[in-house]
Amino acid sequence: MTEVPASPIRVVVVDDHPVFRIGMTALLEEIAGIDVVGQAASEEQAVSVTAEQRPDVVLMDLDLGGGSGVEATRAILRARPSTGVLVVTMFGDDEALFGAIRAGARGYLLKGAAPDEVERAIRAVAGGAMMLGPQVATRAVDYLTNARSARGGVFAELTDRERDVLELVARGHDNATIARMLVLTSKTVRNYVYAIFTKLDVSDRAALVAKARDAGVGVERSGDPG
């Protein structure tokens, strides 16, 4: 068990389903060192409660009825970048999940995760770490594998991992976001990008994106997520 910090981890729970929200709150209130300081049922409430309570961690549902957990995450982190957002999802579409990554969320769990897994994730995110539940990590691999299959045989000179990086560059992601999605360091991603520059004979990122998209890499197709 992780050592309980001297100061409790302040948590806000965001979910538009009251049964889940109240149940999660009750669970967290039984864990030493975690203090639920607020709840929200909508995108607007999430932003407001977080601004007022200044929590260490926000548990964020992606589907907030008429609102978006991704947009709430973006607004929360714009105002207070130090907040750790932990997405807890039933698995909507992949684009929403990876949209949360792009918005800056640091953790991802499935609803129904075991209490000890939820506790570990909250403590990790509060400490500044990235936390991917195993099923979410598998989903990320599947997402990239499907994208690779759709690419076919273009840019055969690239390794599979370089193709993964190229796919995400072509979709408009920066190195930090790609590092989170592939569970790599930013330095490693930067090295991959430079290697791709050399192999594809381009001098900058804009030229790389243009060349990739001309070849169909990073271009949405029917059947793609989102």
Confidence of residue 182 (pLDDT cuts 50, 70, 90): confident
Predicted TM-score of the model (pTM):
0.61
**Predicted pLDDT at 80:** 92
- In the chain, the percentage of residues whose pLDDT exceeds 70 is 82
**Predicted pLDDT at 224:** 47
Alpha-carbon distance 157 to 160, whole Å?
10
Average pLDDT over residues 91-97: 60
Confidence of residue 225 (pLDDT cuts 50, 70, 90): very low
Write out the DSSP string of 124-189. Answer: HHHTT--EE-HHHHHHHHHHHHHHHHHHTTSSTTS-HHHHHHHHHHHTT--HHHHHHHHT--HHHH
Average pLDDT over residues 183-201: 87
Residue, of 122 and 182, whose pLDDT is higher: 122
Confidence of residue 226 (pLDDT cuts 50, 70, 90): very low
Lowest mean pLDDT among 45-54, 143-152, 154-163: 143-152
Torsional class of 204: left (φ above 0), alpha (ψ -120 to 50), beta (otherwise): beta
**Predicted pLDDT at 101:** 75
Alpha-carbon distance 171 to 189, whole Å?
15
Average pLDDT over residues 164-176: 89
**Predicted pLDDT at 223:** 44
Helix axis angle for 160-170 and 186-200, nearest 10°, is 90
Write phi, then psi, for 185 (nearest 5 degrees). -85, 155
Q: Could you tell me if 13 and 59 are in contact, meaning their C-beta atoms sit under 8 angstroms apart?
A: yes
**Predicted pLDDT at 222:** 43
Question: Which span out of 82-96, 99-113, 146-160 was modeled with the highest average pLDDT?
Answer: 99-113
**Predicted pLDDT at 146:** 61
Name the amino acid, one letter, at 104.
Answer: G
Averaged confidence pLDDT in the chain:
83
Give 224's contacts (C-beta < 8 A, 6+ positions apart).
147, 150
Domains of the chain in sequence order: 9-132 (3.40.50.2300), 137-214 (1.10.10.10)
Average pLDDT over residues 102-129: 88
Q: Judge whether residue 186 has pLDDT over 90.
A: no
Alpha-carbon distance 88 to 115, whole Å?
13
> How many residues does this entry show for the chain?
226
